[in-house]
Structure 1
């Protein structure tokens, strides 16, 4: 894609938000800091502008080196800025405040947020603290630094498990986003709808041009949640998760110690098998074949054997920390996550189902695809039907 095409795509996604001036961002950050501190140093400058998939991220640095982050959603302009988009932003900001207040999970401190366009920058925003550190994706394969690469990786998994396990504090009776009475953390919490980014249909020429926040639910069971898109028990309760639990959102120091967890867009209560008990995304890549490039790219991908070893390590960490029934979900969370992805993503569905069928029958990809065709046409023989049924039950079973 040419730089011209990239600029057009950027303008199509963020529109007038790209014209937010440095001065307005500094004014906003300075005003918030004055309110928080009662005065003091407020001179600053914008030192970085980052374009994410769904947000513009602006970093303002003051003269004393304190940094603030101003995060502006891609839906915060024109007809995209719907009542649904506003509610999802409020839920995200207040849920972050709840996690920070009730746990020691190193999430950004939300200093201010606004769902109107009548403010210093003329757009909705969440203004939060800056998280120091390096992304895991920049360090997972980096052999430089004060410690050995493997030591850093294991330290990352250790400290991340310590942080994620603290989310066990929150239990909910439905699947959906958190809504706070009177918009204040500390008051009663109810469960509202789930939120997701809607970019249209992949492959359509208008894909991504009219980005929206879509709502659905809430749901009272995992079955109803999965049926909406296409392993549960009665009297379930639900837990929080990091919506995008992957290496670009986990911040660490040079030795692998966790310094922060960022990007909580559309955070909500979810089934336990895809909640805080899940494996980090970068150690489950072999269960999502369409995005897994081993052995073609050994420099940036772990082998299946390595990924299995890191999952065993992370699972061991969580078992030791939690020491309760919930821990039983960790070991197979990568399988549950793959099933959930297959249920919700028609692009990745085929390869995940082929992976699962191949695992059940212990056959290669071609034979797995043939078995899928037979099943789809009603031609699967009785023996294979029984093998598929019992194999899936074994693969997805969780000890009580």
Structure 2
């Protein structure tokens, strides 16, 4: 995560530049402070210059020195320290937050190496704006005594600061958003070239080709409380096993209604196999969290960087690069919308109609890109609003009930006829109770299945 956002912590300032900087008190349990970090960064950069790995950026070369460590930028699992050099260059040092407490496991090291190699290959084979990696060390035993990735600092404004900009007219905001979506779609379509018949953590060969996958390191959300609990899942040969990977690790609720909701979610996921091309779909390289905070833009809406590729994975195409980005689907489930910190209640009230329009804009852009390539656009984007929410519900028990309720409500609205058996309209509480007690009949199951599949016909 290398952004220009200055946030969090204490507010110190460099006397010469006025730029916020941090002192040793802000480094928590990290084995370095601001002074040692400046010295280390100076040494690393000069070593890379002397080795011919990078060049200076100065017409009149002077000794390159790291002159400042700017305000740190904490994320969910990492902290980024912007490093300012005396020749105008700015780098970003990304370190894992918890390694000082939990250590740095072999799976964590493999995940970091995968992220670095993915960034390198994306820069070589696509025009996706990702940071250039200068150096990394996936161990606690290096010169910094801490694992790290050193990249260029990408200039840009995090999209979450501008997406809900109420200070400009609506037509200007729509133009801004449309430019963002155009750039984003062009970037995501390029990931199509990285496909596999299996899913998991990507592995590249010496020709920088995606040739295999390994186990995927991810957070077990249900098991995580104050600190994240990491686990390894996969590799996968089918989309269903990928969607249910974390779901299968969870204990079933003892409360009958919640247990029935969980069983209905399982049925929804299994019924996805009835969709055209679902069982034969490939897996595709995909950004792990393509949300607002990980997209950097200009004030005009041009994307300057797509960041935070930690956990990059080869996932089922139905959950992959052609899906709607999360910020276009917040309205679909109230629990997801309410968990979005960037959107006020006022924005949420009017947001559904806007988001429906923006989804149509994004879909039109995606379809246009495929037409320009002479290729038929898959149904992935249209379907993703439902399938991504099912994956969210399977991963995180907090979202299981609200997502199932939303799907069931959509089934009743879109099926074109009453969701009923023998004239009795089905209600979710009764369906869930009967599922929990294994007392549901085949006819009811078939009505539910038909209603669920009809949702995709109406998208």
Assess same fold via TM > 0.5. Answer: yes
Per-residue CA deviations over 1:351-382 (Å, capped at 9, x if unaligned) read 0000000000129xx95455544554456677
- Confirm or deny that 1:352 pairs with 2:403: yes
**Cα distance between partner residues in 2 of 1:332 and 1:188:** 26
Secondary structure of the 1:270 match is strand
Q: For the pair shown, which has the larger CA radius of gyration, 1 or 2?
A: 2
* Cross-structure match for 1:174: 198
* Cross-structure match for 1:237: 282
- Confirm or deny that 1:100 pairs with 2:120: no
**Cα distance between partner residues in 2 of 1:327 and 1:234:** 14
* Cross-structure match for 1:6: none
- Please provide the CA RMSD for this pair: 3.0
**Cα distance between partner residues in 2 of 1:292 and 1:369:** 23
Secondary structure of the 2:69 match is strand
**Cα distance between partner residues in 2 of 1:157 and 1:298:** 23
The equivalences for 1:1-400 within 5 A come to 16-17=29-30, 19-34=31-46, 35=48, 36-37=53-54, 40=61, 42-44=64-66, 45-144=68-167, 148-181=172-205, 186=208, 189-198=211-220, 201=223, 207-209=225-227, 211-228=228-245, 229-230=247-248, 231-232=272-273, 233-293=278-338, 297-299=345-347, 303-323=351-371, 324-362=375-413, 368-369=428-429, 371-377=431-437, 385-396=445-456
TM-score w.r.t. the length of structure 1 is 0.85
Per-residue CA deviations over 1:94-149 (Å, capped at 9, x if unaligned) read 11111111100001111111012233321000111111111111101114469811
**For this pair of structures, how many residues does the alignment match?**
378
The range that moved more, 110-119 or 324-333, is 324-333
Distance of aligned partners of 1:199 and 1:391 in 2 relative to their CA distance in 1, 3 Å threshold:
closer
Secondary structure of the 1:113 match is strand
**Cα distance between partner residues in 2 of 1:185 and 1:49:** 36
**Cα distance between partner residues in 2 of 1:65 and 1:139:** 27
**Cα distance between partner residues in 1 of 2:350 and 2:196:** 36
CA contact (8 A) 1:25 1:120 kept: no
Per-residue CA deviations over 1:61-110 (Å, capped at 9, x if unaligned) read 11233210100012423543111111111111111111111100001111
Distance of aligned partners of 1:248 and 1:76 in 2 relative to their CA distance in 1, 3 Å threshold:
same
CA contact (8 A) 2:196 2:210 kept: no
The range that moved more, 52-61 or 236-245, is 236-245
* Cross-structure match for 2:418: none
Unmatched segments (≥5 aa) in structure 2:
1-8, 10-26, 249-271, 415-425
CA contact (8 A) 2:221 2:395 kept: no
CA contact (8 A) 1:286 1:292 kept: yes
